[in-house]
Amino acid sequence: MKILVLGSGAGGGFPQWNCNCRQCAGQRLGGLTAHARTQSSIAVSSDGESWVLLNASPDIGQQLRSHPQLHPRQGLRNTPIKAVVLMDAQIDHVTGLLGMREGPCIDIYATPCVFEDLTTVFPVLSVLEHYCGTRWHMLPVAGTETSAAFTVDGFASLRFTAVAIPGKAPPYSPHRREQTVGDNIALLIEDLDEGARLFYSPGLAEVGAHELEWMHGADCLLVDGTFWVEDEMQHAGLSSKTASEMGHLPQIGNDARIGMVDVMLATAARRKVLIHINNSNPILDEASVQRRMLDSHGIEVAYDGMEITL
């Protein structure tokens, strides 16, 4: 299985267009050792020819342009992207669908909650009906069904499992205040030929026994790296929201909950990688003590263009 990180940043990317915080300004002016990052999306493939997009970022144009693997191959108009799987209905994960409107009808795999948000409060899919159109593949994660195995047409050797996880529906969703099964999913992707498994969860609010069980079988974890600590945005004067209010488990825990670093260390995954890094997170600074701590634990920080082969 080949994994291509198209965007490793959280909503807003890094540096964020309107942000003058130490990190964004430092990256822009060159005083900080840190790479710019576009907004969250990855692509997976079993043969390196056809790709499934996991989330479609607002930065999709730049992301597709800068990765030759995703350029058109044969014929006048063409794309190696055969389908899109959505983890949620957040702006940074779905807006890129609009950037695919010049292509063929888009095969979209998502839960009922996500299809609902994207045809009502944030009607991206309704809009696309006037362009390329979309074909819906319903992932039956809803009600009492908390996981669903599925395949993506054309990717016979990859077995996907959508897993309901704790998270937040977008601010515009009717479910924002009361989480509903299917608002947020993680994906376990298994390459049946190679036997390799990826656990992908760019937005994960909490890790309990249920989540740990799914993470345990993975060779590679590619998980929520949004915040280092719970009150990071407040502390930097950037926002009044905490990590929990936004549906993200910080890397360092507190009395209330275990942090993502300890979660990762409790698994046997060969590769432990953080993704969806917010511009406020000190791990973006490659010279930071926080980054050194991750290094010492063998935890990697995803970057745009990172390739992982499992």
Interacting residues with ligand MLT (CB under 6 A): 10-11, 90-92, 203, 246
C-beta separation of 175 from 223 below 8 A: no
Stretch that binds Mn ion, among 5-13, 41-49, 109-117, 293-301 (CB under 5 A): 5-13
- Residues at the interface with Zn ion (CB under 5 A): 19, 21, 24, 279
Q: Which does 218 bind (CB under 5 to 8 A by kind): ligand MLT, Mn ion, Zn ion, none?
A: none
224 forms part of the interface with Mn ion (CB under 5 A)? no
Which of 1, 5, 7, 11 forms a contact with Mn ion (CB under 5 A)?
11
- Rank residues 92 and 107 by Cβ distance to ligand MLT and give the closer one: 92
> Which partner, Mn ion, Zn ion, ligand MLT, none, binds residue 19 by CB below 5 to 8 Å per kind?
Zn ion
Q: How far is the CB of 246 from Zn ion (least distance, A)?
A: 15
Asked if 8 and 39 touch (Cβ cutoff 8 Å), the reply is no
178 burial class (0-12, 13-18, 19+ CB within 10 angstroms)? exposed
Closest to ligand MLT by CB, 90 vs 290, is: 90
Cβ-count burial 200-231 (b if 16+ within 10 Å, e if not): bbbbbbbbeeebeebbeebbbbbbbbbbbbbe
x/- site string to Mn ion, residues 65 to 94, per CB under 5 A?
---------------------------x--
**Which residues have a Cβ under 8 Å from the Cβ of 32 and sit 6 or more positions away?**
22, 23, 26, 284, 285, 287
282 binds, among Zn ion, ligand MLT, Mn ion, none (CB under 5 to 8 A by kind): none
Least distance from ligand MLT to the Cβ atom of residue 246, Å: 4
21 binds, among Zn ion, ligand MLT, Mn ion, none (CB under 5 to 8 A by kind): Zn ion
Residues 179, 153: Cα–Cα separation, whole Å: 30
